[in-house]
Amino acid sequence: MRNLPLYVTALGTVLPILAACGGSPPPPPPPPPQPAGAVEVEAPPAEVVVQTAPPPERVEVIPAAPSAEHIWIRGSWHWDGAAWVWRPGHYEVRRVGFRWVHAHYEARGGGWVYVPGHWAR
């Protein structure tokens, strides 16, 4: 067996130890638990100005609710940045202490301001 320089021998010992350590930082800790009954609610989205008016609302057949805790969120036209796209209605579980604000449009400044639906207190 040949005699290797000391630094080569040391690297042969240290590298496997470093590899076993993983070399990457540990993952971040999980978020703290929510208090019982807490509901995470989004802030109202920013308004978007669209130069074309939305099409007329579609008539939807509303199916039976899955439970008394569900409310119907009616469908609406959504601006995707290039065109109006229909988002059909759906049921969501009622959020205690909140009300659903339907998507709506306001004629303003030569355009239409589209405000997506959201939960509000």
Return the domain boundaries, the chain: 48-120
Contacts of 99 (CB under 8 A, 6+ apart): 119, 120, 121
Q: What is the pTM of this model?
A: 0.56
pLDDT digit string, tens, across residues 11-38: 455 545 545 555 566 676 666 665 555 4
pLDDT digit string, tens, across residues 76-97: 998 888 999 999 999 999 999 9
pLDDT of residue 62: 97
Contacts of 92 (CB under 8 A, 6+ apart): 70, 71, 73, 100
